[in-house]
Amino acid sequence: MKNMRYVYGICAGCLCAVIAYAQFSVLPSAGMTAKNPLYIFERMGESIGTIFTFGREAKITRFIILAEERLSEASVLAGERHQKTEDTIAAFDSYVQKAETEVDREHTAMARVALLESVAKHFVVFEEVLDTVSEEMRVSIEMSFEEDRKRQKRLLFETADADALIASELGFASIRERLARLKIEVERGRQYETAIITGHIKDLFAVLASAALHEESPSKEFLVLLSNDITRALESFDEIQRSPKYPSGEVGGTIHALKEQLIGVQISLSRNMIPIDPEFVLDVLFAGAESRIAAFDRLGEGQEEIARMMLSEYEEYLVFADEVETRTGRFILDREQNITIANEIQQRISAFNAQIAVKRGVFPGDIESNIDRIISR
């Protein structure tokens, strides 16, 4: 088991690097493309090579390599609006499906992670050329995207069954890349793309939340990693929400709901640690509350809707603070330790509330009333 975790860790590290930096250099050179008359002979040689590839792991590796070659070629063709782009995308999808079939038979961590890596490259590469292609090609690419989203979700679920920690590392690496892309699309004012990427992030987090909440005895390492990743994701959303082009309506509501889910999972997992490691719980509580205060503090006139959301998010941590104070008194027999914890909570919350109070007069009356209500809790 330890060896498997080690292998998983190495693979996860590689994938995180690929997703985080999203460099085109991770793909092989496009070389000859379908517009070359000799291309068919190269593909015939490729097919013969595949026939003489034996062993499941070797086949998985070959299918992934060939899929990435098609992806690189399709990227070049799409940039040129060439009619062969759709055929090349179809060839990419075909190789990914073949790799997926072999992965399902193999059931190994390394094979699953390798396929996840290939799928992640697909999102990154084609989003760079989506604006340059014809409407027909765009539809083809988006259909391929949708299949890979489903594939990524399923592979993450399977990875989580084997190791929730590694699934969290992989999933949040992809979420970070998606958040970076979401920021770009919001700044461009593109509502449709913003909605699609927000939905993708929502799907990824649903997998991670399910895996985390069903973990029977999560390790502290897992909880620390997950809590830190959630805080970073919240801060990325905060930055996006501060944009003048931040979408209102359904997409904006989805982002706020997603942030509340992130906070809910963070609190739910920390709650179980109250009797075991109250100091860890306090760290999570204070870091979360502080990040909400910092986000609220950056808001100004014209951002009333976001300000209401931030106050709502901060209140979730205040409710949790009350719970931590009550439950430590119930579970921890050392009276002196209980008093120390209660005092620390009260002092930190008072300091946070003082930061909120500075914003009185900046926002309309209902927000000011909320600030007064929070401070007087």
| Confidence check: pLDDT of 12 > 60 | no
| Confidence check: pLDDT of 1 > 60 | no
Burial class (CB in 10 A: 0-12, 13-18, 19+), 137: buried
| Confidence check: pLDDT of 322 > 90 | yes
Q: What is the pLDDT of residues 267-317, one digit of tens each?
A: 998 988 888 888 999 999 999 999 999 999 999 888 998 999 999 999 999
Q: Output the pTM of the full model.
A: 0.78
- Range in 24-28, 315-319, 364-368 with the lowest mean pLDDT: 24-28
Q: What stretches of the chain adopt beta strand conformation (E)?
A: none
pLDDT (mean) for 175-186: 93
Q: Cα–Cα distance between 305 and 211 in angstroms, integer?
A: 32
Q: Cα–Cα distance between 280 and 228 in angstroms, integer?
A: 12
| Confidence check: pLDDT of 27 > 80 | no
pLDDT at 333: 65
Report the chain's mean pLDDT, rounded to a whole number: 84
Q: Could you tell me which of 276, 248, 370, 249 has the C-alpha nearest to residue 314?
A: 370
pLDDT at 248: 77
175: confidence class by pLDDT, cuts 50, 70, 90? very high
| Confidence check: pLDDT of 56 > 80 | yes
pLDDT at 85: 83
pLDDT (mean) for 61-79: 86
- Amino acid of residue 352: F
CB neighbour list of residue 5: distance below 8 Å, 6 or more residues apart: 163, 165, 166
Which tokens hold the place of 220? 């502290």
pLDDT at 20: 39
Tally the residues of the chain: 377
pLDDT at 107: 67
130: confidence class by pLDDT, cuts 50, 70, 90? confident
Distances (CA, A) of 123 to 175, 203, 257, 299: 12, 15, 24, 32
**Residue 81 vs residue 186, higher pLDDT:** 186
pLDDT at 260: 93
What is the separation of C-alpha 302 from the centre of its chain, rounded to a whole number of angstroms?
A: 29
- Range in 19-33, 178-192, 331-345 with the lowest mean pLDDT: 19-33
235: confidence class by pLDDT, cuts 50, 70, 90? very high
Q: What is the pLDDT of residues 30-52, one digit of tens each?
A: 778 888 888 888 888 888 888 88
Q: Helices (H), strands (E): how many in the chain?
A: 14, 0
113: confidence class by pLDDT, cuts 50, 70, 90? confident
| Confidence check: pLDDT of 224 > 50 | yes
Q: Cα–Cα distance between 362 and 56 in angstroms, integer?
A: 64
